[in-house]
Amino acid sequence: MLDDLKYIHEKDAQDALGVAEKQWQQLAHVFDLGEWKIDNGAIQQVVFAGMGGSALAALLSQSWPSYHLPFEVSRDYIIPGYVSTHTLFIASSYSGNTEETIAALEAAQQKNAPIVVIASGGKLQTLAEQYGYPFAQLPAGLQPRHAALYSLKALITVLEKVGVVAAESAEHSLHQASEFLKEVVALWRADVPTSKNEAKQIAQELAGSTPVIYAGPKLYPAAYKWKISFNENAKNVAWSNQFPEFNHNEFLGWTSHPIDKPYKIVELRSSLEHERTQKRFTVTNKLLSGRWPNPHVVDMKGDTILEQLLYAVALGDFVSLYMALLNGLNPTPVDLIEKFKTELGQ
Q: What is the pLDDT of residues 281-336, one digit of tens each?
A: 999 999 999 889 999 999 999 999 999 999 999 999 999 999 999 999 999 988 88
Q: Can you give the pLDDT at residue 171?
A: 83
Q: Can you give the pLDDT at residue 165?
A: 83
Active site residue 248: yes
CATH number for the domain spanning 166: value is 3.40.50.10490
159 shares its domain with 183: no
Over residues 112-116, the mean pLDDT reads 96
Q: Is residue 100 part of a domain?
A: yes
171 shares its domain with 24: yes
Pairwise pLDDT comparison (121 vs 161), residue with the higher score: 121
147 shares its domain with 230: no
- Whole-number mean pLDDT of the chain? 94
Q: Can you give the pLDDT at residue 296?
A: 97
Does 160 score more than 90 pLDDT?
no
Q: Which of 111, 182, 301, 341 is catalytic?
A: 341
pTM of the model: 0.95
134 shares its domain with 170: yes
188 shares its domain with 293: yes
End-of-domain residue from the set 147, 175, 203: 175
Rounded Cα gap, residues 211 and 197, in angstroms: 19
Does 163 score more than 90 pLDDT?
no
Q: Can you give the pLDDT at residue 329?
A: 96
Q: Is residue 331 part of a domain?
A: no
* Percent of the chain predicted with pLDDT > 90: 84
Over residues 243-269, the mean pLDDT reads 91
Q: What is the pLDDT of residues 205-247, one digit of tens each?
A: 999 999 999 999 999 999 999 999 999 999 999 999 999 999 9
Q: What is the pLDDT of residues 67-113, one digit of tens each?
A: 889 999 999 999 999 999 999 999 999 999 999 999 999 999 999 99
Active site residue 200: no
Q: Which of 35, 168, 248, 286 is catalytic?
A: 248
160 shares its domain with 28: yes
| Of residues 45, 130, 59, 56, the one with CA closest to residue 93 | 56
Q: Is residue 170 part of a domain?
A: yes
Q: Is residue 171 part of a domain?
A: yes
50 shares its domain with 88: yes
169 shares its domain with 223: no
Domain ranges, residue 84 = 16-175
Q: Can you give the pLDDT at residue 258?
A: 66
Q: What is the pLDDT of residues 17-60, one digit of tens each?
A: 999 999 999 999 999 888 877 776 789 999 999 999 899 999 99
Over residues 338-345, the mean pLDDT reads 82
If pLDDT is split at 50, 70 and 90, which confidence band does 269 have? very high
Pairwise pLDDT comparison (342 vs 182), residue with the higher score: 182
Q: Can you give the pLDDT at residue 170?
A: 87
Q: Which of 100, 232, 267, 273 is catalytic?
A: 232
Least confident of 5-14, 163-172, 292-301, 307-316: 163-172
33 shares its domain with 167: yes
Question: SS3 letters for the chain?
Answer: CCCCHHHHHHHCCCCHHHHHHCHHHHHHCCCCCCCCCCCHHHCCEEEEECCHHHHHHHHHHCCCCCECCCEEEECCCCCCCCCCCCEEEEEEECCCCCHHHHHHHHHHHHCCCCEEEEECCHHHHHHHHHHCCCEEECCCCCCHHHHHHHHHHHHHHHHHHHCCECCCCHHHHHHHHHHHHHHHHHHHCCCCCHHHCHHHHHHHHHCCCEEEEEECCCCHHHHHHHHHHHHHCCCCCCEEEECCHHHHCHHHHCCCCCCCCCEEEEEEECCCCCHHHHHHHHHHHHHCECCECCCEEEECCCCCHHHHHHHHHHHHHHHHHHHHHHCCCCCCCCHHHHHHHHHHCC
Active site residue 168: no
Rounded Cα gap, residues 236 and 210, in angstroms: 7
158 shares its domain with 185: no
111 shares its domain with 20: yes
Number of folded domains that form the chain: 2
Does 252 score more than 70 pLDDT?
yes
Q: Is residue 346 part of a domain?
A: no
Rounded Cα gap, residues 235 and 231, in angstroms: 5
End-of-domain residue from the set 151, 175, 199: 175
Does 159 score more than 70 pLDDT?
yes
If pLDDT is split at 50, 70 and 90, which confidence band does 259 have? low
